[in-house]
Amino acid sequence: MRASGILMPVTSIPSNYGIGCFSKEAYEFVDQLVEAGQKYWQILPLGPTGYGDSPYQSFSTFAGNPYFIDLEYFIEEGLLTKEECEEIDFGDDAGKVDYGKLYVSRNILLKKAFLKSQIEKSEDFQAFCKENESWLYDYCLYREIKAEYEEKCWNDWDDDIRQRKPEALEEYEQKHKDGILFQQFLQYEFYIQWKKLRQYANERGIEIIGDIPIYVSFDSADVWSHPELFELDKNNIPTAVAGCPPDGFSDVGQLWGNPLYRWEYHEKTGYAWWMERVSHCLKLYDVVRIDHFRGFDEYYSIPYGETTARNGKWIKGPGIKLFHALKSGIKQENVKLIAEDLGYLTESVMQLVKDTGYPGMKLLQFAFDSRESGNYLPYHYEKNSVAYTGTHDNHTICGWYKSISEQDRQMALEYIGRENLEEEEIAWEFIRLALASVSDTCIIPIWDYLSLGDEARMNIPSKIGGNWAWRLKKGEITKELLRKIQKMSSIYGRL
């Protein structure tokens, strides 16, 4: 069935207290999706973020980000007052998230709410802790120990707790008993609020497309609690890390720094950790986009300690064996996954996507970029795919059009049958091209529907600081815009 949706990060939703969250404005956005005739709301990963604020470098692959907890819900429940929230400085720019101020201010309010909550008496809370015991306690302990060590990476902790010696674990558990309960409270509130928001969307015909990063951060509860899953030496130092090789966009490549998986160990366990990870995502989302799908066919391994990605090499990944295990092991009907298969694709990667049956991604910005080797022109698209104007890692479509070479711009104009484009026409002509494509699904970022320039860009890969901050301002999504989205979706058979 042909359908369309909008990419809108939760962080970008307008709200009163510094960052987009599960507030009334999120519910209003769901209503706007319905009004615009959309089927999908695509978001970015929901995990807790650290230095750099990237949702792709999370402290846990299972935990939720406390920034998304709605403070107004606590006001309604009597756990906070409006005055307490309004006296906090969340930053003075409604169009940007000030993560520095947020880091300090949110925790103050969340702790106040926790101390009033008496959460330990709640049977629902106790049931939540039991249901998630495989990851929850380790994560909460990790966060409290990390705070004690002034947020240093777990590999800089004292040897006894870094290596999880039983006597050290017992000592820290006792020392941080109240803090662990606080962290459990945050996770409970996150998941309760998200469950309500997702249910609200589902009841109105909106499905959530979530995102699962292929890798986890080295500084995470996952690596600290399960070092056997990753390529680490006897001292738990990575032997190699993830990234991308040099290409037309970067002559040094991308050094992500995430630890690589010990795939032979995962295979011996029947990919049990992956089974748990994907099953967890399917409880959160209706559709799961698997980031950097190429890494399951071949992954780029960079020796630990390198300062660029130049000296890496490609190593064969688990391939179809992993996805056969997931298919047979996940007890859920109609599992919906999207393969993020962007970038340089080898024959074996394309075959893996085909063998899984998952729809791949088609990025319109790549179609007219002479540096890009893939076949992204719309006449190459197939029905079982998801078309995008761009993603969180790209320019906005207006910013992209201004950034490309004159030769590439001329190619784009000839393809759409125009001699030139006025400023206000740029975004909508490429949105039209994506919506008109044969792809069953089309997702347009909200910044493209608003015809915004690169001031609205979410992320510049490999740039440190300043990313993930753009926010929508209240009132920017107008009735007129919703009608225009609805009309164009109707023209191209996507209602």
Question: Annotated catalytic sites, by residue?
Answer: 291, 340, 393
Q: Which two tokens stand for residue 200?
A: 């609200």
Q: Which two tokens stand for residue 301?
A: 């391994």
- 317 in the Ramachandran plot: left (φ > 0), alpha (ψ -120 to 50) or beta? beta
Q: Which two tokens stand for residue 172?
A: 């820290």
Amino acid letter, 432: R
Residue 168 to residue 433: CA distance in whole angstroms: 59
Q: For 143, list phi and psi in degrees, rounded to 5.
A: -65, -40
Closest CA to 462 of 12, 2, 52, 25: 52
Amino acid letter, 474: K
Would you say 230 and 56 are in contact if contact means Cβ atoms under 8 Å apart?
Answer: no
Closest CA to 288 of 211, 395, 196: 211
Residue 361 to residue 338: CA distance in whole angstroms: 8
Residues across the chain? 495
CA contacts within 13 A on the Cβ side of 382: 9
Q: Quick one: DSSP state of residue 77?
A: T
Maximum Cα–Cα distance across the chain: 73
From residue 101, alpha-carbon distances to 12, 52, 161 in Å are: 17, 14, 30
Rg (the chain; Cα; Å): 23
Q: Which two tokens stand for residue 420?
A: 């030139």
Residue 229 to residue 264: CA distance in whole angstroms: 9
- Find residue 3's DSSP bridge partners: 441
Strand segments, DSSP code E, in 364-479 are 385-388, 441-445
H helices of 307-418, where? Answer: 320-329, 347-356, 364-367, 397-403, 406-416
